[in-house]
């Protein structure tokens, strides 16, 4: 009788080897799919901030269709635009000739646009008399009643405000002779300096108030 145990043993060993090989192959595939290499299409996805201040949600590759655009560019262009107001460095101040009347001394204080652009002034200028050392003489002028309006100044054009006070010879107010009149354009901080050559001004006592009017187009009444 033939011995059949040897072929059966070989078949069993072969089957075991095939099973083991299959197991090793499966383990190798599992290892590759769980590695740190990203899947195609996911490398560009980010959860960080986008340029322009936006951010994406995990798994997004960019802003959703129809999303509102970032306002960063709009803010930049808004800040690049210049405002329409005339600034101190764009203006020259001067004082016109005295216009006496009814015991008053009236002077046109003129602001002229020296820039190359059109700008505007609105309201009252600031004014102050100072001595040669820069010390202010008397209180700030009062604002005469009026209706402010926007005055548009093309290059070279002017606006004026009336500076008025009672004649000290008539009012008997205490006086001083200023060296300079400081004129501050509306909404500005830096004044313009104008040499004062019109003599004494009231700085204290009765009837010593000085007033200014709203700015109007032109160089005087």
How would residue 99 be classed by pLDDT, with cut points 50, 70 and 90?
confident
Distances (CA, A) of 29 to 22, 24, 37, 42, 81: 11, 9, 14, 20, 62
All domains in the chain, ordered by first residue: 88-217 (2.60.40)
Average pLDDT over residues 108-117: 97
Q: What's the confidence (pLDDT) of residue 16?
A: 53
How would residue 3 be classed by pLDDT, with cut points 50, 70 and 90?
low
Instruction: Say how many residues make up the chain.
Output: 221
Global pTM value: 0.62
Spatial contact of 206 and 171, defined as CB atoms under 8 Å apart = yes
């Amino acid at each position: 009788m033939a011995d059949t145990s040897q072929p059966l043993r070989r078949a069993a060993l072969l089957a075991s080897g095939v099973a083991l090989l299959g197991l090793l192959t499966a383990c190798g595939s599992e290892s590759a799919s769980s590695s740190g290499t990203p899947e195609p299409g996911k490398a560009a996805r980010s959860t960080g901030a986008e340029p322009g201040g936006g951010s994406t949600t995990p798994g997004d590759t960019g802003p959703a269709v129809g999303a509102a655009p970032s306002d960063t560019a709009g803010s930049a262009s808004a800040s690049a635009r210049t405002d329409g107001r005339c600034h101190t460095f764009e203006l020259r101040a001067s004082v016109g000739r005295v216009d006496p009347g009814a015991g008053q001394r009236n002077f046109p204080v003129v602001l002229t646009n020296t820039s190359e652009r059109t700008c505007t002034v609105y309201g009252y200028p600031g004014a102050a008399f100072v001595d040669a050392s820069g010390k202010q003489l008397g209180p700030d002028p009062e604002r005469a009643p009026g209706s402010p309006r926007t005055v548009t100044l093309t290059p070279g054009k002017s606006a004026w405000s009336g500076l008025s006070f009672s004649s000290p010879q008539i009012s008997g107010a205490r006086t001083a002779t200023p060296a300079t009149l400081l004129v501050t354009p509306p909404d500005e901080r830096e004044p313009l300096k104008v040499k004062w050559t019109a003599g004494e001004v009231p700085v204290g006592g009765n009837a010593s108030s000085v007033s200014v009017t709203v700015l109007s187009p032109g160089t005087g009444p």
